[in-house]
A and B are shown apart, each in its own frame.
Chain A
């Protein structure tokens, strides 16, 4: 029997979930055991735009999907057992799932039924084994697999291969442009080059060791990853960090956002051949990093957040220095902003370049500045309101145009808002201990934390000794990379660096 969308009644996610048993010990959101039919139903609900796909990952013999229903703000995980090593593809109904399903096939050997794309994603054939995370990996001689790019036909189409290694100091990825004259007809990215085997590496580690690794899934978003991991461990074990730790986490998170948005704001200007702004943001960012290094012991704030609390404190003197520096940064940034806003040659490059339509942003549930610059009104700080944001209530800034300039403006407004939030955090930082004991208890937990590029999701399962049985970190870039390919279409090849930097997706985090 073929299934059609009409076959599925228009029920809310909560009602749908009520029909499926919740798996005990999964926190803070419930995990439900689905069956093949319900998995199909979810695929159609995703395709109809009623649900957002937040994540899709595997483990031996099972797949999991994290889902969010914007209309009701219900969030849940649905799992499907795959006793015969197969599951109905969601990607064939809902394209955002495609690369995640190819990853599940590469790592676990589980076959997404009906998925047209048979090519590997992370597995390029260069590993000594296939299906490294399945119970029975297959040996492989390391001969690379062929990788046919999707065909493009038309008159005068030529092909421009760019990377793995790029001209600048950026991460490796391969971009295959098909262009007609200067205009991009199609861009197809091939990633996976920096696959480090993170999920396998995490297995069996204590959460202390694992935290250091998860904090390095994407070095630029280290605070968000540490935080999401800590929240997942705390959820799984039923532990609660003390108030001061929660607010310090907020402080680290907002400082990271300011530092990275400054970095990207400057780099987009630089990619438009406007070095002046870049030079000045570089100074502001460096001053912030130097102070972070002095106050917290690490410039990028790595290893500061641990399950149960934080590993660095802030005294009154440090707080004063931070306030002073951020005020300087705030006033200097406003002046740079005027340069950005008053320079026609710069605006000429960023306005109406690399447009991402609101429809695509919504369909891919694009997080961060990529989604918000195309009108997707979601910020996990506000919508999932994890502490301290339940009290801080950050303002969420939206733009509708979806071009490079809109993504710049979302960043600009977020820098302003983060500066305000840091002031409030410093005003309200409660006294007390920095950490609380974490119980040794088996369980499953999920943490979602807003990084500077969107929401980071970490899911894990612990055994009774606090060791990692399975851990999956999911970066917002999974749902942003494919949109870059859409945004560059009909732009000129020379605007690609600008578009790419305005998205600023992570390579390391999706290559895992």
Chain B
């Protein structure tokens, strides 16, 4: 049976979708938060360490979906690593709880420079349904309360397509061929300085 499935996989039409365009919103935000030279240094491959810093696990389901055969993230040179020490990018879901703030901070410190932080979901941007609780870092649980954020991918949860388009912006943003559109309204949260707070 396994052999049959493998053979069919070779003969059938691929289920994988064509490469989507990078998200213009993400390109606009990255143009503000990352200088082009630094982005270029990341080259054409990205290694991501995912950190759930308080999520309801909805974002994790959609992040998982990025690796299925339909989106097939790895064909773009983007993959997930087990350790922040091997990562270029921290992909953080929130809201960041006070109980997780120190762990997130430590993961960030372990990630080698030049590192980028992608905040995934409305909660990670500080405007999810839980904002305003005593248990969230800074009261809103925004990732930017704990570590500097370069890119926000909004949604509750963001779809795999939105995640993919955001990551492609991060990957392609350094390439000269990519045209950054001006005037698009980027996500609301600006990259903050490293905030104090829970730790």
- Residues of chain A touching chain B, judged by Cβ–Cβ distance below 8 Å, are 124, 126-129, 132, 142, 144, 164-165, 167-172, 192-198, 200-201, 212-213, 216-220, 222, 263, 276, 279-280, 282-283, 285-287, 289, 293, 299-300, 302, 335-336, 338-339, 342-343, 506-508
Report if B182 contacts A (CB, 8 A).
Answer: no
CB distance from B155 to the nearest CB of A (A): 10
**Interface contact B61-A126, CB-CB below 8 Å:** no
Q: Which of B5, B56, B60 contacts A280 (CB 8 A)?
A: B5
Closest Cβ neighbor of A337 among chain B residues: B1
- Complex contact B98–A169 (CB within 8 A): no
- Measured CB to CB, the residues of B under 8 A from A are 1-2, 4-6, 15, 50-65, 67-71, 80, 82-83, 95, 97-103, 107, 129-130, 132-136, 141, 156-157, 159-160, 198
Distance between Cα atoms of A342 and B68 in the complex (Å): 24
Option from A197, A276, A280, A282 in Cβ contact (under 8 Å) with B134: A197
Contacts known (A124-B99, A165-B51, A300-B157); A201 close to B68, Cβ less than 8 A: no
Give chain B residues whose Cβ lies under 8 Å from the Cβ of A335: 1, 4-5
Cβ contact of A300, chosen from B53, B61, B70, cutoff 8 A: B61
Task: Give the residue of A196, A217, A343, A508 whose beta carbon is less than 8 angstroms from that of B135.
Answer: A196
**Is A169 a contact of B80 with CB atoms below 8 Å?**
yes
> A201 to B54, alpha carbons, bound, how many Å?
15
Q: Bound state CA distance, A200 and B133, in angstroms?
A: 7
What are the residues of chain A within 8 A of B135 when measuring CB–CB? 127, 132, 195-197, 200
Given contacts A126-B102, A169-B60, A286-B71, 14 further A-B contacts (CB under 8 A): A124-B99, A128-B134, A132-B135, A169-B64, A193-B100, A194-B100, A200-B134, A276-B5, A282-B70, A286-B65, A335-B1, A336-B5, A339-B1, A342-B2
A283 proximity list for chain B (CB < 8 A): 15, 68-70
Within the complex, what minimum Cβ distance (angstroms) separates A248 from chain B?
Answer: 21
A144 to B198, CA, bound (A): 11
User: Residues of A contacting B53 with CB < 8 Å?
Assistant: 172, 194
Whether A508 touches B99, Cβ cut-off 8 Å, given contacts A132-B134, A195-B135, is: no
B58 & A219 in contact (Cβ 8 Å cutoff): yes
Q: Judge whether B60 and A171 touch: CB under 8 Å.
A: yes
* Most chain A beta-carbon contacts within 10 A, residue among B52, B60, B82, B103: B52
The residues of B that contact A219 with a CB separation of less than 8 Å are: 55-61, 157
Is the beta-carbon distance between A126 and B65 smaller than 8 angstroms?
Answer: no
Interchain Cβ contacts within 8 Å, total number: 153
In the complex the two chains form, is A218's CB within 8 Å of B52's CB? no
24 contacts between A and B (CB under 8 A): A124-B99, A126-B99, A127-B98, A128-B134, A164-B100, A167-B82, A171-B57, A171-B60, A193-B103, A194-B97, A194-B99, A194-B100, A195-B135, A196-B54, A196-B133, A197-B134, A201-B132, A213-B129, A218-B56, A276-B2, A282-B70, A289-B65, A335-B5, A507-B57
Q: How far is the CA of A201 from the CA of B123 in the complex (A)?
A: 14
B98 touching A126, Cβ below 8 Å: yes
B160 (CB) vs chain A CBs: closest residue: A286
Shortest A429–chain B CB gap in Å is 27
B82: A residues at CB distance < 8 A: 167-168
By a CB distance below 8 angstroms, the chain A residues around B65 are 282, 285-286, 289
* Residues of B with C-beta under 8 A to A212: 129
Determine the chain B residues whose CB is within 8 A of the CB of A200 once the complex forms. 133-135
How many angstroms between the C-alpha atoms of A128 and B198 in the bound complex? 9
- Report B-chain residues with C-beta under 8 Å of the C-beta of A128: 98, 134
Contact indicator B61/A220 (Cβ below 8 Å): yes
Output the nearest chain B residue to A293 by Cβ-Cβ distance.
Answer: B159
Minimal Cβ-Cβ distance residue in A for B101:
A126
- Known A-B contacts A283-B68, A289-B65, A343-B2; the reply to A196 vs B57 at CB < 8 A is no
Cross-chain contact A127 with B134 (CB below 8 angstroms): yes
Contacts of B63 in A (CB 8 A): 169
**Central interface residue in A128, A195, A218, A507, by most chain B CB within 10 Å:** A195
Bound form: Cα–Cα A217–B129 in Å = 11
- The complex places the Cα of A139 from the Cα of B181 at a distance, in Å, of 49
